[in-house]
Amino acid sequence: MALSRLRIDQAVIAKLVDEKSRVLDLGCGDGLLLEYLFHHKQVQGFGVEISHEGVHACIARGLPVYHGDIDQGLSDHQDDSFDYVILSQTLQAVRRPEFVLREMLRVGKRGIVSFPNFGYWRIRAHLAFRGRMPRTPLLPAKWYNTPNTHLCTILDFQDLCQNNSIRILRQIPLAAEGSQPTGWFHARLSNWLVPPSAANLLAPIAVFLLEKGES
Amino acid sequence: METTSGPSSQSVGVVQTQYVELCTGEKRLSLDCGASLGPVQVAYETYGTLNAERSNAILLCHALSGTAHAAGRHNPDDPKTTGWWDICVGPGKPFDTDRFFVVCSNNLGGCDGTTGPSSIDPNTERPYGLTFPMITIGDIARLQKALIDHLGIKRLLAVAGGSMGGMIALQWALDFPDNLEAAIVIASTPRLSAQNIAFNAVARQAIMADPHFNNGNYYDKERPRKGLALARMMAHITYLSEKGLHDKFGRRLQDRDSFSFGFENDFAVESYLHYQGSSFVKKFDANTYLYITKAMDYFDPFPDPRTTAERLAKVTARILVMSFDTDWRFDTSRSKELVKTLHWHAKRVTFEEFPSPHGHDAFLLYQPLYQQSLTSFLKRLHQECVGTTEPPAEIVEGVDGIV
């Protein structure tokens, strides 16, 4: 059996989650990340997933999963019910990203968000030189059939956090986007990407660890 | 891909109902209403083989009109003797009898072999009728527990049921937390709504208004057939979706080309309901209908936040909740209400809603998505509790340098 591997952003998220914490994974897909967290970090919690394929995959992995949309997945829960609420590669596809972000940090003590960075140079170049809506391995859909209705750049996301008094505890721009093994080069590059303007240009994807600010 | 159990899947074959007398002597069955019963006869069937560790047993709970006969046939040549959940129970099916030892018993208060209002009261040597004590879903589960003890099973892998059967499965998770690994609650609800109770109340009124009802003492006389048939006809409408019923019958006329301009059965759907009603009264007891609908009305394990917290504190079972989008008897929102309560108390819950044109009855019918999820849930449960599991995903290399 080929070893299934986490996507790079999922692997980074997995590293950010503390052991034995309570986790809500919004848009958990086939449950790969959640399964990793259950087994290697002994977390509790469950996933929320809209597709039957995803729900079925989670069930087959023995993971608790809620079949439904993210809005209901959040409104059902009391304040601070979770240590972490995870939104991996899903923010850009939700109807109301600002509402979802606020709700995440209502039901969770911390939030972890990963999203494709629309400020990535390849995307900019695609639009600048080809004059058509960018399509990348991470965003392969055409403009008229994409589920990704709320794309943003790393700088845009920082603004959104600031406007909602959300504290950014960590921001980890990634130089790699796929599930391919990431070697020394990619890892180091990611560390160099910390200046926000550079990260915004060079990182195809970013992971943010968030916390509620004072309100 | 999981093999799905289509209609071509194998059957458990010819089966027989077994009977056992429980709660004998001093060990009477104590009931929530304060009364007690004993001895109590239980009708049950089993499929598959109990392993040496006695760790592969699953209990199925039937709904209002079900029986102990869940799978296989009583008569090999008569498809009408097929069990009520044969679509889900058998080799290669979700409740895979190659893996599991499956038990199904007729509910307390029933009329298919387990003690109920039509049974003989040992004190009077006449049928109980309405002197039968009022029973609850909790009492039904308690008698099932006595059967499971009798079979020498300490811990069930799962307790599963649809509709009222789902309520019983939930009751198991609450009342016997140490005796089950998982509860499977399908097309069910944590409590009946006013509308649900209203339908049950009208059904009971139909039975009690029958001139032959005679305050429940009808066993040696003409039975309240018309009242019971009417109750069943009305309930049957609530088991189907409007679309499902219309797709099946539309406005088609029955054995005629034009309206009768009278009160005969003009429409095919009328004739169908009459058939449902009249075939039901041949096999079902009116008093059982009264008692069981009342037990459903009373079911409310989470009446207030404090009781809910107390009852859920000890619950360790993982709970699988499934619903169907066209079910309006127990709408998906009722399942979600249950899931929300369980989530609030950090219980391990999985919820999935399936598309189906079949309304409430969908849980009894073959549907690939439903079947697949049920199969995978049970297969995984078996792997974790009886067999072995595959290792989870590995983290990619190089991440340590990033975070």
Q: Three-state SS across B220-240?
A: CCCCCHHHHHHHHHHHHHHHC
CA distance A190 to chain B (A): 6
Q: How confident is the model at residue B76 (pLDDT cuts 50, 70, 90)?
A: very high
Share of chain B above pLDDT 90, in %: 92
- Residue B5 confidence (pLDDT) above 50: no
Any idea what DSSP says for residue B81?
A: G
Classify the C-alpha dihedral B284-B287-B292-B297 as positive or negative: positive
- Residue B372 confidence (pLDDT) above 90: yes
Q: Which CATH class is domain B195-206+217-298?
A: mainly alpha
Dist. CA B9–CA B242, nearest whole Å: 30
Say which of B241, B360, B361, B382 is annotated catalytic.
B360
Is B327 labeled as catalytic in the residue annotation? yes
Overall pTM surpassing 0.90 (yes/no): yes
Please list the residues that pair with B158 across neighbouring strands: B58, B182
Higher-scoring residue by pLDDT: B232, A7: B232
- Which residues 11-30 of A are in CB contact (within 8 Å) with B? 11-12, 14-16, 22
Can you list the positions of beta strands (E) in A37-188?
44-49, 65-67, 82-88, 108-116, 166-174
Average of pLDDT values for B285-303? 98
Q: Of B228, B43, B61, B34, nearest to B134 (Cα)?
A: B34
Mean pLDDT of chain A: 88
Question: Residue B1: what pLDDT?
Answer: 35
What is the separation, in whole angstroms, between the first and last Cα of chain B? 36
Q: Which helix (H) or strand (E) holds A52?
A: helix A52-60
- Which residues 327-386 of B are in CB contact (within 8 Å) with A? 336, 339-340, 343-344, 346, 348-354, 369, 372-373, 376-377, 379-381, 383-384
Is B163 labeled as catalytic in the residue annotation? yes
Question: Residue A1: what pLDDT?
Answer: 29
Lowest mean pLDDT, pick from A194-208, B62-76, B198-212, B348-362: A194-208
Helix, strand, coil tally for chain A in percent (to 5): 40, 25, 40
Fold of B1-191+301-403: Rossmann fold (3.40.50)
Q: How confident is the model at residue B28 (pLDDT cuts 50, 70, 90)?
A: very high
Question: Residue B389: what pLDDT?
Answer: 67
Q: Of B289, B112, B278, nearest to B213 (Cα)?
A: B289
Dist. CA B276–CA B82, nearest whole Å: 17
Which amino acid is residue A14, in one-letter code?
A: A
Say which of B163, B241, B335, B356 is annotated catalytic.
B163
- Which residues 279-338 of B are in CB contact (within 8 Å) with A? 318, 320, 336
Any idea what DSSP says for residue B326?
A: T
Average of pLDDT values for B109-136? 97
- Which residues 55-74 of A are in CB contact (within 8 Å) with B? 55-56, 58-68, 72
Chain B residues closer than 8 Å to A77 by CB: 343-344
Indicate the domain borders of chain A: 8-212
Mean pLDDT of chain B: 94
Q: Are the Cβ atoms of A183 and B343 closer than 8 angstroms?
A: no
pLDDT in tens, B329-349: 999 999 999 999 999 999 999
- Residue A188 confidence (pLDDT) above 80: no
Q: Give chain B's length.
A: 403
Can you list the positions of beta strands (E) in B53-155?
57-61, 101-105, 120-121, 126-127
A75 touches chain B (CB under 8 A): no
Residue contacts between A and B (CB atoms, under 8 Å): 137
Dist. CA B344–CA B169, nearest whole Å: 20
Dist. CA B195–CA B173, nearest whole Å: 26
pLDDT in tens, B295-319: 999 999 999 999 999 999 999 999 9
Q: How many CB atoms lie within 10 A of CB B270?
A: 15
Chain A residues closer than 8 Å to B380 by CB: 59-62
CB-based burial label for A39 (10 Å; 0-12, 13-18, 19+): middle
Indicate the domain borders of chain B: 1-191+301-403, 195-206+217-298
Say which of B327, B356, B358, B382 is annotated catalytic.
B327
Average of pLDDT values for B59-81? 96
Residues 6+ apart with CB under 8 A from B187: B162, B163, B166, B322, B323, B324, B327, B329, B330, B335, B360, B362, B363
Lowest mean pLDDT, pick from A114-128, A147-161, A172-186, B250-264: A172-186
Q: How far is CA A1 from the centre of its chain?
A: 28
Query: Vertex B249, ends B246 and B252: CA angle to 5°?
Result: 120
CB B403 within 8 Å of CB A172:
yes
**Residue in the structure block whose two tokens are 């189906």:** B356
Among chain B residues, the shortest Cα distance to A183 is held by: B398
- Residue B395 confidence (pLDDT) above 90: no
Helices (H) and strands (E) in chain A, counts: 9, 7
Q: What phi-psi label fits residue A16: left (phi over 0), alpha (psi between -120 and 50 degrees) or beta? A: alpha
A188 touches chain B (CB under 8 A): yes
Fold of A8-212: Rossmann fold (3.40.50)
- Residue A192 confidence (pLDDT) above 80: no
- Residue A73 confidence (pLDDT) above 90: no
Question: Residue A136: what pLDDT?
Answer: 85
